[in-house]
Every structure is written in C-alpha cells, then in structure tokens.
Amino acid sequence: MKKFFCLLFTLLFAVGTALATGQDIDAAMNEYCDNIQTSIRNNLYYRGHESAEVLVSFEVNPDGTITNINIDKSGGEAFDKAVTDAIQKVS
C-alpha cells in the first residue's frame, strides 16, 4: 500500500502540469508518486536475511526536500533504518 503525503504546492504543480499538457490529473499524481517510490527503491540498501515490509509516510516540500518521515508500520529496526536512510538520500 502506497502512502504519501504531498504538500499543496506539489499538488498544484502537478495539476498545472496536467492541465498544460492535457494529462489526466490522477495520472500525473500517480506518475509523480511512482517516480518518488522508484527513487527510494533505487537508494535502498538492506542486507538483512529476512524479507520485510514497512509502511512509511512523509511530506514532500515544494523544493523537493522530504520531511516528517514517520514509520507507520515497522518492518524491524534494521529495515526501518534502511528505508528512512533511502528516503533521506532522495531528498
């Protein structure tokens, strides 16, 4: 389950982009969130032996920085740290 909290500015930017290009607004937001998720996955380094799942929420600021990272459902201390580190690298 994806859970992202984006600031109003980001939403307005996506809406403006969607309107300017004729794209569907939902499709533009989904693409934006997918790009963030892909960037996080590309920066994720976890050397644990077990598989893990974590539910994380955060805010994306207008300048692209990420703040207010919260672990909503833990996947274990090591995996939570790996995910948090990956999110911070994207910022």
What digits encode the pLDDT tens for the residues 12-28? 444 455 455 555 777 77
- H or E stretch including 41? helix 25-42
* Predicted TM-score (pTM) of this structure: 0.65
The confidence score (pLDDT) of residue 70 equals: 93
Q: Helix or strand or coil: residue 29?
A: helix
Lowest mean pLDDT among 2-11, 32-41, 65-74: 2-11
22 class by beta-carbon count within 10 Å (0-12 exposed, 13-18 middle, 19+ buried): exposed
In this model, does residue 65 exceed pLDDT 60? yes
The confidence score (pLDDT) of residue 23 equals: 58
- How many alpha carbons fall within 13 Å on the CB side of residue 81? 6
